[in-house]
Amino acid sequence: MVQKAAPIRATRGRPVGNVTRGTTNPNRMRRVDRWITGAHARRLRSFPGAPLAVDLGYGASPTTALELFDRLRAVREDFRLTGVEIEPTRVAAAKPLERDGLDFRLGGFELSVAEPPALVRAFNVLRQYEEGDVGAIWELVCSRLAPGGLFVEGTCDEIGRRAAWVALDADGPRTLSVAVRFGSFERPSDVAERLPKALIHRNVPGEPVYDFLQALDGAWLAAASLAPFGNRQRWIAMARAMRESGWPLADGPARWRLGELTVAWGAVAPHH
């Protein structure tokens, strides 16, 4: 059983946050990284100078930080990345892998970097926190972003087959994305167990995210006649039906064919 994290407290001179389990696997973040470098390629190329990205809470192994660095470098070759971890032994283990444009340092949600980052990715980090901590954490990280910067916070399963994340900027949360590997689910709502912390306890009747997932399932079942043509075609038909029924989707067929779907945050934000 995972022990609950202690409440978030800002302490002068100490990183903000708690040590997580640190579990990770190679290529676990491929779906969110593909979305960052694909759906937001223009944003990433728009920053002046050599932009900085932060992989916040990369875990016991820096593998996924190295992967993000390489993927960002494929978008623009001057991207830099700092892996930030709150556990000193994890930072020490990653230090030998530093190279030009890539470094690792001790820190938490305050972001222990010398300049505002263009991108912050925090995956499988907030899962162990209380839902009540999320708003303050989001606000703290977003306050550190460079102008036009992006904060991507979410959760995925152990080998990256199912993932969900929230994209935020200086004004707060903007979108919710879900991404799945075709063949890894029976219904789209199977991704519910990987919803970000702000939503995972809100998948109950009366909450917008519950309505969203139920609508996905309904559109998926309605597209069953396309199953012989493959799950990709069925997913695209599901997404079209969602848009036609009024859900404010923020993407189109180019992303849908990858098993992704992004919806405006206002359509799924929790009732308070």
Which two tokens mark 139? 């606000």
Residue 258, SS3 per DSSP = coil
Amino acid at site 146: A
Cα–Cα nearest to 217, from 246, 254, 198, 192 = 192
Helix (H, G, I), strand (E, B), or coil: what is residue 213?
helix
Residue 115 to residues 51, 77, 188: CA-CA distances in angstroms? 10, 19, 39
Q: What is the pLDDT of residue 15?
A: 80
Taking the C-alpha atoms of residue 85 and residue 49, their distance in angstroms, rounded to an integer, is 25
Predicted model pTM = 0.92
Per-residue model confidence as pLDDT tens for the chain (272 residues): 233 444 455 445 678 777 676 567 788 999 999 999 999 999 999 999 999 999 999 998 999 999 999 999 999 999 999 999 999 999 999 999 999 999 999 999 999 999 999 999 999 999 889 999 999 999 999 999 999 999 999 999 999 999 999 999 999 999 999 999 999 999 999 999 999 999 999 999 999 999 999 999 999 999 999 999 999 999 999 999 999 999 999 999 999 999 999 999 999 999 97
Query: What value, to the nearest 5°, has the Cα angle with vertex 18 and ends 16 and 20?
Result: 135
Res 236: pLDDT: 98
In whole angstroms, what is the distance from residue 86 CA to residue 89 CA? 9
- Using DSSP bridges, classify how beta strands 102-106 and 119-123 pair: parallel, antiparallel or unpaired: unpaired
